[in-house]
C-alpha cells in the first residue's frame, strides 16, 4: 500500500515525490547562509524550517508548479518573518564577526583570501533586497521570472535590483563605499581664473 512512501520521524507517510526536495538542499543552504551573512547555524535552522514547512504543506503544492521556486519562496518568506521577529525583540547581529569567522585562514594565498574577504564584506554591505536578487540570479542561477516569484516582486523590480546591486558591488570593490560618481565633489578639473 505505501511501498513508494517514505516515513518521517513521527511515523507519518511522506509523499514519494518529497525525495525530490533533497536535490535542492545544497542550494537552499547556500541561499540561507548568504541571507544570514555566513551564520551557518542559523542558516541550517532556516533550511530545516523551510523543509519542515514544505513537507507539512506538500498537499498545498501545485503539481505542475516549479518545486525549486516553491522551496526558495518558502525559505525567503521564513527569513523575512524571522528578521521581523528579531527586530521586534531587538536582537542585533554582529555582521563583521560573522563574516570574519567564515574567512579562510590566510596561508600562502593571501591575495585570494583578501579578495574573498573584501567580496564578502562588500556583499554584506548591500541592502537585503539587492543581496537576495544577486544570490538567486547570480549564485543559484534562477531565471529573472523565477526570482521574481520567489521574492514576490515584478520581474522589472528584479532586473532593477540586480542592476543596482551589481553596480553597488562594483563601486564598493573599487574603493567607493558611498556609491555615486567616483569623482569627489570639488576634486574635478579646475577652471582658469
- The pTM score is 0.54
- Assess whether 115 and 81 both reside in one domain: no
Note whether residue 99 is domain-resident.
Answer: no
Note whether residue 185 is domain-resident.
Answer: no
Note whether residue 104 is domain-resident.
Answer: no
- Assess whether 114 and 88 both reside in one domain: no
Measured distance CA(145)–CA(70) in Å, rounded: 13
pLDDT at 183: 41
CATH of the domain at 4: 1.10.1740.10
Note whether residue 174 is domain-resident.
Answer: yes
Residue predicted with more confidence, 26 or 116: 26
- Assess whether 123 and 164 both reside in one domain: yes
- Assess whether 115 and 165 both reside in one domain: yes
- Assess whether 158 and 80 both reside in one domain: no
- Assess whether 76 and 149 both reside in one domain: no
- Assess whether 1 and 86 both reside in one domain: yes
Q: Note down the domain range covering 21.
A: 1-92
Residue predicted with more confidence, 71 or 1: 71
pLDDT at 154: 96
- Assess whether 2 and 34 both reside in one domain: yes
Note whether residue 79 is domain-resident.
Answer: yes
CATH of the domain at 150: 1.10.10.10
* DSSP β-bridge partners for residue 6: 14
**pLDDT higher than threshold 70 for residue 71:** yes
- Assess whether 3 and 80 both reside in one domain: yes
Least confident residue range of 8-12, 32-36, 107-111, 157-161: 8-12
- Assess whether 79 and 137 both reside in one domain: no
**C-alpha angle 184/188/191, rounded to 5°?**
150
pLDDT in tens, 3-59: 344 444 444 545 566 678 888 999 999 999 888 887 889 999 999 999 999 988 888
Label residue 183 exposed, middle or buried (CB < 10 Å: 0-12, 13-18, 19+): exposed
Amino acid at each position: 500500500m505505501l511501498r513508494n512512501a517514505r516515513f518521517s520521524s513521527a511515523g507519518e507517510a511522506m509523499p514519494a515525490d518529497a525525495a525530490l526536495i533533497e536535490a535542492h538542499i545544497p542550494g537552499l543552504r547556500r541561499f540561507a547562509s548568504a541571507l544570514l551573512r555566513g551564520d551557518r547555524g542559523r542558516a541550517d535552522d532556516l533550511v530545516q524550517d523551510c523543509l519542515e514547512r514544505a513537507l507539512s504543506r506538500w498537499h498545498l503544492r501545485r503539481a505542475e508548479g516549479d518545486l525549486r521556486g516553491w522551496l526558495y519562496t518558502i525559505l525567503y518568506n521564513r527569513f523575512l518573518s524571522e528578521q521581523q521577529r528579531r527586530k521586534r525583540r531587538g536582537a542585533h547581529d554582529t555582521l563583521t564577526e560573522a563574516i570574519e569567522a567564515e574567512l579562510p585562514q590566510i596561508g600562502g594565498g593571501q591575495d585570494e583570501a583578501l579578495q574573498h574577504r573584501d567580496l564578502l564584506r562588500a556583499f554584506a554591505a548591500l541592502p537585503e533586497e539587492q543581496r537576495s536578487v544577486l544570490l538567486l540570479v547570480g549564485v543559484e542561477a534562477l531565471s529573472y521570472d523565477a526570482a521574481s516569484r520567489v521574492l514576490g516582486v515584478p520581474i522589472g523590480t528584479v532586473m532593477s535590483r540586480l542592476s543596482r546591486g551589481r553596480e553597488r558591488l562594483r563601486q564598493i570593490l573599487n574603493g567607493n563605499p558611498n556609491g555615486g560618481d567616483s569623482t569627489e565633489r570639488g576634486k574635478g578639473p579646475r577652471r582658469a581664473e
